[in-house]
Amino acid sequence: MSLASFTVMRASLLIASMAKPAQENGRDDRLPPGQTLVTNFPVLSYGPTPRFNPAKWDLRLLGLVENPMRFNWDEFRRLPVHSQTSDFHCVTTWSRYDNRWEGV
């Protein structure tokens, strides 16, 4: 078995173990057909997580923009933060309700 196949199989088992059925008295309108509701957020990755060095981090907004911009980590952290709560429906057939997202 290849590493990729093993990773997909392991991820499927993880998602299945976290799943809970839709409402017993009928279909939950928030859950799309074919989706399984989970309570945790499955972490599916291939390989190690890169190390983060704030001293070397930068974000560049380039290309078809009127004003190209560049932010270091401190500048980025000073941008206004916005938040929203929404459901997440993954193409790998799991859903999670009421996720709080934050970003700039």
Q: Mean pLDDT score of the chain, rounded to an integer?
A: 82
Tally of CB atoms within 10 A around 38: 20
From the number of C-beta atoms within 10 Å of its C-beta (0-12, 13-18, 19+), residue 8 rates as middle
Q: What angle do CA 100, 103, 104 make, to 5 degrees?
A: 155
Range of the domain at 72: 53-82
Q: In this predicted model, what pLDDT tens digit does every residue of 67-98 receive, in sequence order?
A: 999 999 999 999 999 999 999 999 999 999 99
- Residue 61 predicted with pLDDT over 50: yes
Q: Is residue 104 part of a domain?
A: no
Q: Is residue 22 part of a domain?
A: no
Q: Is residue 68 part of a domain?
A: yes
What is the count of structural domains for the chain?
1
Amino acid at the residue 86: S
Q: Is residue 74 part of a domain?
A: yes
Q: Is residue 41 part of a domain?
A: no
- Is the full-model pTM beyond 0.95? no
Amino acid at the residue 62: L
Q: Is residue 33 part of a domain?
A: no
Tell me the Ramachandran region of residue 76: left when phi exceeds 0, alpha when psi lies from -120 to 50, beta otherwise.
Answer: alpha
- Residue 24 predicted with pLDDT over 50: no
Q: Is residue 6 part of a domain?
A: no
Q: Is residue 36 part of a domain?
A: no
